[in-house]
Amino acid sequence: MKKIIIITTVLLSLLQLKIALAAGNVDDVARYESLTLPNTEVRYLDSTNTHESYRIYVSIPAEYYIHPNKKYPAIFLLDADYSFPIVTAITNHLSDRNRIPPMFIFGIAYAGAPAYELHRTQDYTPTYVADGGYGAQYQKLSGGAPKFAAFLQSELIPYLNQSFRLNDQRTLVGHSFGGLFGSWSMLNNPALFSSYIIVSPSLWYDNNYMFKLEKTYAKSHKQLPVNVFFGIGSKENGGDFKMVDSLNNYVKMLQQQNYKNFKSKYMILPNDDHDMIFPDAFTQGIMYLYEQN
């Protein structure tokens, strides 16, 4: 038995060494450690609305525990697996320099194996469409935005309000399908978030469904009490979707309604395409919404 244990240990060590040698870093096995984001933690929340298990990434303001009576604004991030480290770094950098106030960041990710196309199709699309997007195998789960919004309103936000000292400033940040959800949420339940950063929204979805929804909303509403930053890259007008033209028309439609309590800023960022736009647009958006200087 001892011989088996010794042999197994040696084989595992050799395997680790082989991996390190292949990477060109022998020292990795012995002394390197993982890098983590400071002042962050992960929580889990099961939803009765979506029947999904969510992994919530939390970034806590560095000063939080030395100001026990202070309440903070919060950013809610969609597509958190890529957006959370980006937004955390940008927000902390600007806050450390007193450009924006300290704030919480809550990234909404998913427990279990990664399923990027599936989850965002399921939770971010407002209507069921049989084909389009990532294809029929994902679209069969589409149209879950109402359930996801119910999760945010009745489960996630109350849970976070009980867990942390938050004020009533809540900003939702979404890109692409996430921007589609943000655009839909703004009209479906304006009181849920006080502000939005909407980046390159997929307004083409379901034959320009959002344009129809906005017209319906305008018929029965005179006010839209939100502050919104819209951002898109100048190189996003290719292909069939013409996303720059589409967002131009959508923002113009919103502004022409003259809604009470509606504020917005729209930027086309030069030289950015759909893959590059998010960090630039988020930076411009958070400065627009929260700049102190």
Task: Name the token pair of 194.
Answer: 């006080």
User: In which band, very low, low, confident or very high, does the pLDDT at 16 lie, cut at 50, 70 and 90?
Assistant: low
pLDDT value for 32: 83
pLDDT tens figures, 155-214: 999 999 999 999 999 999 999 999 999 999 999 999 999 999 999 999 999 999 999 999
Percent of the chain with pLDDT strictly greater than 90? 85
Q: Which residue, chain included where needed, has tokens 């131009």?
A: 248
CA nearest 194: which of 224, 221, 164, 158? 224
Segment 57-116, tens digit of pLDDT: 999 999 999 999 999 999 999 999 999 999 999 999 999 999 999 999 999 999 999 999
pLDDT of residue 30: 58
Asked whether residue 239 carries a pLDDT value surpassing 90, the answer given is: no
From edge to edge, which strands make up the β-sheet containing 40-46?
40-46, 53-59, 104-110, 72-77, 166-175, 195-199, 227-233, 263-269
The answer to whether residues 84 and 105 touch, using CB atoms and an 8 Å cutoff, is: yes
The residues, any chain, with a CB within 8 Å of residue 202's CB and separated by 6 or more, are 176, 177, 179, 180, 241, 243
| Closest residue by Cα to residue 195 from 214, 204, 182, 211 | 182
- Given this model, what pLDDT does residue 165 score? 98
Look at strands 53-59 and 104-110 and give their pairing. Answer: antiparallel
Cα–Cα distance for residue pair 281/209, rounded to 1 Å: 24
Tell me which residue has tokens 């320009």: 208
pLDDT at res. 33: 84
Whole-number average pLDDT of the chain: 92
Contact 240, 208 (CB under 8 A): no
Q: What is the DSSP string of 214-225?
A: HHHHHHH-SB--
CB 213 within 8 A of CB 189: no
pLDDT of residue 34: 86
Residues 6+ apart with CB under 8 A from 279: 86, 90
Which value, to the nearest 10 degrees, does the dihedral of the CA atoms of residues 235, 238, 240, 244 take? Answer: 30
pLDDT, position 20: 52
Stronger pLDDT, 238 or 174, i.e. the higher one: 174
pLDDT tier for residue 3 given thresholds of 50, 70 and 90: very low
CA distance 213 to 38: 41
pLDDT of residue 17: 44
pLDDT above 80 for 2: no
Token reading at 160: 């976070």
